[in-house]
């Protein structure tokens, strides 16, 4: 059976066609085996570090079945909203295995997180002072620093630069120390995240120097959190973050810091895309072929309401025709059915497409379904997970009742 070319995926074309027929399209398909392989890659790359904590970034995909799979494997959870915290609790994660790192939230939401008993990261001087004044004696917290490092494959996912809204500026460290000392806050961890799709390992190493320099000023830390940002391959010639190279280099810095600090801390990473992206496939059906003076459009039964990354981030996703995988290669611009420009791929080389064919988008595991919407009153797709060679429906396709569920009709 033919595999999807150019990528080391575990699912074959015949299986994907079968799933499209069984569950309909548009359809998200996730391969649990690929997720676990990616997780093992991280563990192996950082095996030189004595105390390693892996927390899945749930914002990548919050389907509770995926969370339960990670919980079963002993992976912790990274959350950015109180709703993600609640889903994590429902999935069975112990509160102390959940890290909550919000941005721009109210004190009321942080108090709710405290009531759940999760680990809280604060990235705002005002909230740090408020929390310290009210809860300093009974609840340890972590602090998110902004290292002023430009990292990330796109300006929208670069979050550690000087003008970023995320984290407390490293240069405001004297203010942090003053608040901590005045309120007697117990700081148990320091956090940093510079962005996503970071290729250069030097960015992670520069961030480590900043975190270790800050950490040495706190006596009783339990962990240091590096966030994540590991890049994955999106096209045949793409290069991922070399975590096998990063692991030993970071390990040397970590061990040197531990000797200076006098204590071994837990080193935490929060991968989302790295674990999930390559496990996912998005299957769509070709509605019509439309030829203009300059382009051949393959118009599919989806749009940016289901799969917004190409439009929002200018992200590249490999697209293959799994109905005709060995056909003559032609140039197609793949577009959706939304009433605005929703181009998935411009002039992609794809085997010859006919109306009714099934196209497969790669790297659809992370930040795809979770960013979907009901724009144009379209239904969100179903989700399927392949686990131990068996396919499971893990989210039903929406219906008209889902669109109308929260509408309150009034008499006019």
pLDDT tens digits for range 85-107: 999 999 999 999 999 999 999 99
Q: Which residues contact 289 (CB under 8 A, 6 or more apart)?
A: 296, 297, 298, 299, 353, 354, 355
Q: DSSP of 20-82, one letter per residue?
A: HHHH-SSEEEEEHHHHHHHHHHHHHHTTTSSSEEEEEEGGG---HHHHHHHHHTT-EEEESSH
Residue 204: pLDDT band with limits 50, 70, 90: confident
- Phi/psi zone of residue 227: left (φ > 0), alpha (ψ -120 to 50 degrees), beta? left
- Report if pTM > 0.85: yes
Instruction: Dump pLDDT digits (tens) for 41-82.
Output: 999 999 999 999 999 999 999 999 999 999 999 999 999 999
Residue with tokens 């959350």: 79
Which positions make up the binding site for pyridoxal 5'-phosphate?
A: 229, 367
Cα 86 to Cα 116: distance, rounded to the nearest angstrom = 8
What's the token pair of residue 398?
Answer: 């929406």
Model pLDDT, residue 1: 38
Helix (H, G, I), strand (E, B) or coil at 127: helix
Cα 30 to Cα 368: distance, rounded to the nearest angstrom = 12
Which positions make up the binding site?
A: 229, 309, 313, 340, 367
Cα 276 to Cα 100: distance, rounded to the nearest angstrom = 20
Residue 159 has pLDDT above 60, yes or no: no
Residue 238 has pLDDT above 90, yes or no: no
Q: Which domains does the chain have, with CATH numbers?
A: 13-29+277-404 (2.40.37.10), 32-276 (3.20.20.10)
So which residues are the catalytic ones? 339
Model pLDDT, residue 197: 59
Cα 165 to Cα 121: distance, rounded to the nearest angstrom = 15
What's the token pair of residue 373?
Answer: 């919407």
What's the token pair of residue 259?
Answer: 């000797």
Model pLDDT, residue 166: 80
Model pLDDT, residue 2: 45
């Amino acid at each position: 059976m033919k595999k999807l070319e150019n990528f080391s995926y575990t699912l074959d074309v015949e299986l994907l066609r079968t799933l499209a027929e069984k569950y309909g399209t548009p359809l998200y398909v996730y391969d649990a085996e690929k997720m676990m392989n990616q997780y093992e890659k991280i563990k192996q790359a950082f095996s030189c570090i004595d105390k390693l904590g892996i927390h899945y970034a749930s914002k990548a995909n919050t389907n509770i079945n995926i969370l339960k799979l990670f919980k079963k494997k002993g992976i912790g959870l990274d959350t950015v909203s109180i709703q993600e915290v609640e889903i994590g609790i429902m999935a069975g994660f112990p509160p102390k295995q959940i890290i909550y790192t919000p941005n721009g939230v109210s004190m009321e939401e942080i108090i709710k997180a405290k009531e759940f008993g999760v680990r809280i990261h604060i990235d705002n001087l005002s909230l740090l002072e408020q929390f310290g004044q009210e809860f300093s004696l009974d609840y340890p917290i972590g602090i998110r620093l902004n290292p002023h490092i430009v990292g990330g494959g796109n300006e929208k996912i670069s979050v550690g630069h000087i003008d970023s809204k995320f984290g407390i500026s490293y240069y405001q460290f004297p203010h942090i120390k003053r608040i901590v000392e005045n309120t007697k806050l117990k700081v148990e961890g320091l956090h940093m995240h510079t962005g996503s799709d970071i290729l250069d390992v030097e960015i992670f190493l520069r961030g480590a120097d900043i975190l270790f320099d800050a950490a040495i000023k706190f006596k009783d830390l339990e962990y240091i959190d590096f966030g994540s940002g590991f890049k994955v391959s999106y096209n045949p010639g793409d290069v991922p973050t070399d975590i096998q190279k990063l692991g030993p280099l970071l390990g040397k810095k970590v061990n040197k810091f531990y000797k200076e600090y006098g204590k071994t801390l837990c080193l935490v990473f929060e991968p989302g895309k790295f674990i999930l992206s390559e496990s996912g496939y998005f299957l769509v059906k070709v509605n019509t072929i439309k030829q203009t003076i300059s382009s051949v459009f393959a118009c599919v039964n989806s749009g940016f309401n289901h799969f917004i990354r190409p439009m929002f981030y200018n992200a590249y996703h490999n697209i293959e025709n799994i109905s005709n995988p060995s056909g003559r290669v032609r140039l197609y611009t793949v577009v959706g059915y939304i009433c605005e420009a929703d181009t998935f791929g411009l002039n992609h080389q794809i085997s010859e497409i006919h109306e009714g064919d099934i196209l497969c988008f790669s790297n659809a595991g992370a930040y795809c379904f979770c960013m979907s919407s009901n724009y144009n009153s379209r239904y969100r797709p179903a989700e399927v997970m392949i686990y131990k060679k068996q396919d499971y429906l893990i989210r039903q396709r929406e219906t008209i009742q889902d669109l109308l569920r929260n509408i309150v009709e009034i008499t006019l």
